[in-house]
Amino acid sequence: MNIEPIAVIYTDFSEKFGIPRQSGLVKQLTGKIVFEKKYRDVLAIQGLEEFSHVWLIWEFSKSNVNPEKFVPMVHPPKLGGTTKKGVFATRSPFRPNRLGLSSVEILQIDTTSDQAPVIYVSGIDILNGTPIYDIKPYIPYADAHVDAKEGYTVSTKDTRIDVVFEKDFSDIISEETKQTLTEVLRQDPRAAYNKKEDYIYGMAFRECDVRFKVEDNILKVVDICYRDDNFKEIK
């Protein structure tokens, strides 16, 4: 079977660091889905406006996994980097076919612009420019399992931390951007195995570079600046 992208999603994240680890965790994060020309036909999404959510099947396009080497065990980041689980018991990007799955809310469907149809969604957990391989409607009676077991994730699902801004950045970011960024940072972007006190972390968000540290389980934003040609990424 040969598959090809049907669309591309555009989001606020130009780098992997900082992206929520699951879809729906930050409702304020939005994405714009633009179809490839071959699939750019409003008839293809007729009826989708009747649904509130969709499933997106996409590619971990920046994953450096070697497709020739199957790795059966991975380290879920929420488990501290020391505990291994079977790759098919995780949502790790280090998987044979590099496919991701996200459940997102439909905000708007544009059927009149030059790029139509364009789908605007919220609750994303996807890198900017990511290829989309399929879109399917979320069907509550079939997709929602209220008695489902959470497995090892039950101990890691609510690990949000407090966020404070050490100074006023209103000359750089809007109040809406600040609120969205706050919710992103509350998820604690740091890997569980790389949590250092007083270390300055860097994260790209929208057109800005955000620098922060964590002290006494409080994430403190110490600087925000515009990204430009002189910007140097933190590795």
Q: What is the CATH number of the domain that holds 215?
A: 3.30.2310.20
Please say if the pLDDT value at position 106 is more than 90.
Answer: yes
Domain holding 15, by residue range, is: 7-63+98-143
Please say if the pLDDT value at position 146 is more than 50.
Answer: yes
The total domain count for the chain is 2
| Residues sharing a CB contact under 8 Å with residue 128, sequence separation 6 or more, in sequence order | 9, 10, 11, 12, 13, 14
Pairing of strands 201-205, 85-86: unpaired
Query: Which of 114, 143, 172 is the endpoint of a domain?
Result: 143
What's the predicted TM-score (pTM) here?
A: 0.91
What mean pLDDT is predicted for residues 71-79?
A: 85
Report CA torsion sign: 63, 67, 68, 73. Answer: positive
Please say if the pLDDT value at position 77 is more than 90.
Answer: no
State the pLDDT at residue 157: 67
Which CATH number is 133's domain given? 2.40.30.70
State the pLDDT at residue 234: 47
What percent of the chain has pLDDT above 90? 76
